[in-house]
Amino acid sequence: MAKFTLQFRMEYCKGCELCVASCPKHILAIGDEIGAKGYRTVTATDMELCIGCRSCALMCPDNVIEIYTEGD
């Protein structure tokens, strides 16, 4: 079970890929889902590898990503 959980507010994602570039574990990617703004949105490819560093959330200009630790 993952220690961290990423939640994405897809209605705000514009697929800029800043979060993808900032992830040190390379677990984020632009997926096939189309968001409310008409862009392909971000997804986590392997949540088990997330280290909870919050680089993705800090980099996101639209506040799309929230990170929760196990037990939150």
48: domain CATH number? 3.30.70.20
- Per the structure, the count of domains in the chain is 1
Count other Cβ atoms within 10 Å, centred on residue 71.
5
Task: Please give the C-alpha separations between residue 11 and each of 36, 43, 71, in angstroms, as whole numbers.
Answer: 5, 13, 26
pLDDT at position 72 is: 61
pLDDT at position 37 is: 86
Q: What is the pTM of this model?
A: 0.88
Residue range of the domain that includes 16: 4-69
Per-residue pLDDT reduced to its tens digit, 16-72: 999 999 999 999 999 999 988 899 999 999 999 999 999 999 999 999 999 999 876
Q: And the tokens for 71? A: 């037990």
pLDDT at position 8 is: 95
DSSP 67: E
